[in-house]
Amino acid sequence: MSDSIWTIPLFPLETVLFPHTALPLHVFEPRYRELVMYCLEHDSPFGVALIREGREVGDADVEPHEIGTMARIGRLRRQSDGRFHLLAIGEERFQIIRLIRNESPYLKAHVRLWRDHQPFSAEQERELAEQTAEVFRALLRRTLEIGRVRVDDIQLPKDPTALSFAIAGTLQLETPMRQYLLELQDTSERLRLVRQIVLHLLEASEISVQPFDPEHWNGYVHRN
């Protein structure tokens, strides 16, 4: 894990953004409009962190969780009144070392990267990833092919860590569980938990995934 520390703008939210997933945002508060402008002008990422205490809108003293996700601005549309509609693309996770208040209208933080530990067995981790992908595809078949979307057209990430986050980001989980999965530094454990959740959904026949959104799978779908 890198020990480098740097400063990023922080966007506390009442949701969790996983790496390798996307989050649509409607930015209307003046301070966060300024954050967006800063990121555009400096080609800077910003941090998305789940709020621990406080409110998402209008709370200058909001307290975020320690672990969050770096985000880059993907698609962006600016309204005539100055509001933004954008797609935040999750990248690396970070750990907040120190919050910086009153330096700018929005919150900033000194952060360092937060990465998974090396697996005890890379081969076993790959096998677990394949098993998890298999049951997730079974869940996708049950939900997507009703709408005539072919599951075989969807390419899941092959990297076990990326796969664990991509699946976790698709399932409609309670916020505390999402934050727990984000904070885990064990890819195999995250895969086991995600696989267990997907198996439960299959066995109980309780479809608990989000409706198919092509934007979420942009880059994984073959369109030919």
pLDDT in tens, 3-22: 799 999 999 999 999 999 99
pTM for this model (two decimals): 0.84
User: Mean pLDDT, to the nearest integer, of 140-162?
Assistant: 77
Q: Confirm if 189 and 127 have CB atoms less than 8 A apart.
A: no
Structure token pair of residue 169: 């980001």
Helices marked H in 98-217: 122-144, 160-170, 175-183, 187-204
Domain borders along the chain are 6-113, 122-204
User: φ, ψ for residue 102 (rounded to 5)?
Assistant: 70, 5
3-state secondary structure of 200: helix
| pLDDT averaged over every residue in the chain | 86
Looking at domain 122-204, which of 3.40.50.1970, 1.10.760.10, 3.60.70.12, 1.20.58.1480 is its CATH number? 1.20.58.1480
User: Look-up: residue for tokens 């990023």?
Assistant: 8
Q: What is the pLDDT of residues 86-116, one digit of tens each?
A: 899 999 999 999 999 988 999 999 999 999 9
How many Å apart are CA 48 and CA 169, to the nearest integer?
14
pLDDT(83) > 90:
no
